Amino acid sequence: RKLSDKFFCVYLDATYLPLRRETFEREAVYIAIGIKPNGHKEVIDYCIAPSENIEIWSEMLKGFKRRGLEQVELFLSDGVVGMKEAICQSYPKAHFQRCLVHVMRNICAKVRVDDREKIMNEFKQVHQQTNKEMAVQVLHEFYQNWEKAYKNVVRDLRQVEPDLLTFYNYPKQIRASIYSTNMIESFNNAFIGIQAMSYNDRYFNRIHKGFGQVQDTLESYFD
């Protein structure tokens, strides 16, 4: 089907689900959900493949363009290698937010069990600040506190720092919705076949939390 010519944000995420072929195997279900400037959200596309790879994401992004989606202000995704570059090829003016929940999970996997709770409590402060300047200060304090113990973790965060705080560039009413891909993950957890279409029917005229209050502001990001 044809798509709207603009979405304020598009969430990209893949989850592994057991699917029945000749046997039951876990395969990657790719999902893209968008929210328009007026706050209405819908499933843009989905596909199934044996595993997650950037080539499939690139083809999906090109497919959005072919179906009429000309402008996206913000893409949200995890840290799959090559995603930011693939987005830039199809939507060079779009901005990118790395999912902070995925970032926290990655940090947890690389630190000692005894340190996890303290580290998570500190890192969560990054997305709970009043403005971007305060968030940068909190993030840099996190670096200082943990660089000695976890040099590689802090190095990796420094490399992607510009993508961690993009959501602070937008109205505070919607920031809680655009620092992670949690919304799409909740959809993935309940995903079965026709759910994509029923999701669109259910939410077609509903405005996502916070978006109704700043519709005019979000419209201003587009040509």
Coil, helix or strand for 196?
helix
List per-residue pLDDT tens for the chain, 223 residues long. 899 999 999 999 988 776 666 655 778 889 999 999 999 999 999 888 888 889 999 999 999 999 999 999 999 999 889 999 999 999 999 999 999 999 999 999 999 999 999 999 999 999 999 999 999 999 999 999 999 999 999 999 999 999 999 999 999 999 999 999 988 766 665 554 456 666 666 776 778 889 988 988 999 998 7
**Integer Cα distance of 7 and 43 in angstroms:** 12
The position carrying tokens 């026709």 is 194
Half-sphere exposure of 175 toward its Cβ, with a 13 Å CA cutoff?
18
> Can you give the residue ranges of every domain in the chain?
6-99+181-216, 101-162
- The topology (CATH level 3) of 6-99+181-216 is Nucleotidyltransferase; domain 5 (3.30.420)
∠ at Cα 54 (49, 57), nearest 5°? 70
- Strands, E, within 38-162: which ranges? 41-49, 71-77, 95-98
Per residue in 148-192, pLDDT tens? 999 999 999 999 999 999 999 999 999 999 999 988 766 665 554
Could you tell me the pTM of the whole model? 0.84
